[in-house]
């Protein structure tokens, strides 16, 4: 499945879960979705880097890319971190 469709599916899932209250009763679903959305951000920046090549590192052309790269690196460490979410998912699976 291409990244755009994956992201659209994940956003739809997030909206449905918020509207129907599913996440209140099933926090594991929200944790899994948050992990998947963080992966989508990382995948998108990686794809952009591959598509633009060395141009992404040039000062003028790379300004927007550099900002997106930093932002995508920040996503996994936002509280709760992805490490904390994965640990909680493991506890819930037991």
Q: Which residue in this structure is represented by tokens 């755009």?
A: 4
How far apart (Å, rounded) are the C-alpha atoms in residues 85 and 72? 17
Whole-number pLDDT of residue 64? 83
Whole-number pLDDT of residue 67? 87
Whole-number pLDDT of residue 1? 64
- pTM of whole model > 0.85? no
The 10s digit of each residue's pLDDT in 28-83 is 999 999 999 999 999 999 988 888 877 766 666 667 888 888 899 999 888 889 99
**Which DSSP state fits 81?**
P
pLDDT at residue 11 tops 70: yes
Whole-number pLDDT of residue 66? 82
Q: Where are the domains of the chain?
A: 3-93
Whole-number pLDDT of residue 69? 87
3-state DSSP assignment of residue 75: helix
Tokens of 50: 């591959």
Burial track 37-63 (b if 16+ CB lie within 10 A, e otherwise): bbbbbeeebeeebeeeeeebeeeeebe
Tokens of 85: 């979410």
């Amino acid at each position: 499945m291409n990244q755009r469709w994956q992201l659209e599916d994940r956003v739809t899932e997030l909206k449905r879960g918020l509207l129907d209250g599913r996440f209140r009763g099933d926090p594991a679903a929200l944790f899994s979705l948050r992990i998947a959305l963080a992966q989508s951000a990382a995948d998108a920046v990686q794809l952009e880097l591959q598509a633009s090549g060395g141009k992404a590192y040039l000062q003028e052309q790379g300004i927007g890319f550099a900002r997106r790269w930093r932002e995508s690196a920040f996503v996994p460490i936002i509280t709760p971190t992805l490490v904390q979410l994965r640990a909680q998912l493991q506890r819930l699976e037991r």
